[in-house]
Amino acid sequence: MNAATASAPKKGASGKYRKEKKMSPLKVGPVIYQPEDTLLEKDRLKKDMTLSELNHVFRLYMTKKGLRMKDISILGLFSVVFNDPNFAHWHELSKKEQSDVLTGLVRMPEVYNDLIERLGSTAGDAQIIKSVVKDAYQNAIDSFSHAAYLQKKYSDRFPGFKIVLFVDQVNQALILTLIDNGFGEKIIKPKKSHMGQEYGNDAISRVTDWLIRRYVEKEEGPVKWEIAYTGGQGMALKKLRIEMGMNVELHFFATGAIFELKLKNIF
């Protein structure tokens, strides 16, 4: 099928051509800026690009699930935009400099706590939601670090995530999603010792890290030792599913990813 054929409008029952309806846009909702609580005028286009990209990832997710906007009822949403200028030249920073920036970013402002507690209360358990979402957004921040270093992605946009709580009316499910505009693929992070220290980059540490991945956690893939991550390994999906009995999925797309938590199983 060529491009002209693929984009041609379809005929309706009357025989007349009709335009294909586009999916309705996702509402913006409250936007938190981190670490700076205000946005410079020159950065407004970058903010708009970030929010547009997050909405695009959500539309891809909806298409993958076979849902339309009219099939869901949104109960709450908000976004966090990381307007730290360091992300634009992340590849030029040392690992120590990257780590210092990330340490500041994971400490969310009070307004975030207020918003996530409201969503959690709406979902039925504020503490569980807050804990699981914290893990999800830390993994999103790690994805931003990865994308900023390897893809140099944030010269014309900011990294950010959007949390949406909605009812899937088709499948009768309450779902919470965290959308990010990060790397768009699973990343392999350095493992840590029982003391919480990252294994080093020397030969012995690399072998130790490889053994853990190969025979304990059965992960495959190279580690980018020059990239800093938040420090938390995060709750693995296996732990969330088995130990906490949660129905969670990760969906990867070219421009980001979505962490999906189906909440109907925890009430």
Between residues 209 and 254, which one has the greater pLDDT?
254
Helix (H, G, I), strand (E, B) or coil at 100: helix
For position 136, what pLDDT does the model report? 92
Q: What are phi and psi of 60, to 5 degrees?
A: -60, -40
For position 237, what pLDDT does the model report? 72
Split at pLDDT 50, 70, 90, the class of 9 is very low
For position 175, what pLDDT does the model report? 96
For position 236, what pLDDT does the model report? 64
Q: β-strand 247-253 against 17-18: which pairing, if any?
A: unpaired
> Tens of pLDDT along 54-112?
999 999 999 999 999 999 999 999 999 999 999 999 999 999 999 999 999 999 999 99
> Tens of pLDDT along 15-46?
544 444 556 668 889 999 999 888 989 999 99
For position 4, what pLDDT does the model report? 38
* CB atoms closer than 10 angstroms to residue 110: 7
DSSP classification of residue 107: S
Tokens of 63: 């298409």
Q: What are phi and psi of 99, to 5 degrees?
A: -60, -40
Split at pLDDT 50, 70, 90, the class of 149 is very high
Tokens of 179: 């959308």
Q: What are phi and psi of 36, to 5 degrees?
A: -85, 130
> Tens of pLDDT along 108-132?
999 999 999 999 999 999 999 999 9
**pTM higher than the cut 0.75:** yes
